[in-house]
Amino acid sequence: MTRLLLVATVCLAIPTLAISQNSPPRPKAIDFESLGKLVVGTGLKTETGQGVYKVTYPGDDGWFVEVWLSKSSPVVLVTFPCQGLPAGKTDPAPLLQLLAQNGRMDGTYFGYNDKTKNFYLETAIQSDGLTAEKLKAELERLQKLAIKTAEQWDTSKWPMEKK
């Protein structure tokens, strides 16, 4: 009886072992301090804030991004704050053009923060295997997208709706 119980236990364990060996490894999450080392490693001007790193792009335009960790997954989020929604009623056409860009930017999307009333451009980067060089490349890609899409998010160029 003991031998039969041992054989049954082994037979039940084999599929479990096979499944666990075939499962992809879980991505490794990084902590805020490790993210800071990556951000500083990009060589860009960096400031530390409450749970976020502010990275300023070179140049006189004052453009910056905020780099932070997702609370729900091992992902680094990079947010480029665009501009606020203009006061008064705006023509909806520019907003629709802005939203139409979301499917065309390879994992980067526009969003709107209801608290600050600002638009933002955001991308998510897997933290597992992230290096300072990869992060810098993503920051540069986001900057190029911001420049390319400025006509859509620069609300100073939006027409006001006629009364």
pTM for the structure as a whole: 0.74
CB 81 within 8 A of CB 122: no
Cα 8–10–13 angle (5° rounding)? 110
pLDDT in tens, 57-102: 887 678 899 999 998 778 999 999 988 877 776 677 777 777 787 8
According to DSSP, the β-strands at 118-126 and 75-84 are antiparallel
Q: Contact at 8 Å (CB) between 122 and 143?
A: no
Provide the pLDDT confidence category of residue 25 given band limits of 50, 70 and 90: low
Q: Which sign does the torsion angle of CA 110, 116, 118, 122 carry?
A: negative
* Residue whose structure tokens are 């054989």: 7
Could you tell me the domains of the chain? Answer: 27-157 (3.30.1460.10)
Q: Which of 88, 87, 114, 83 minimizes the C-alpha distance to 98?
A: 83
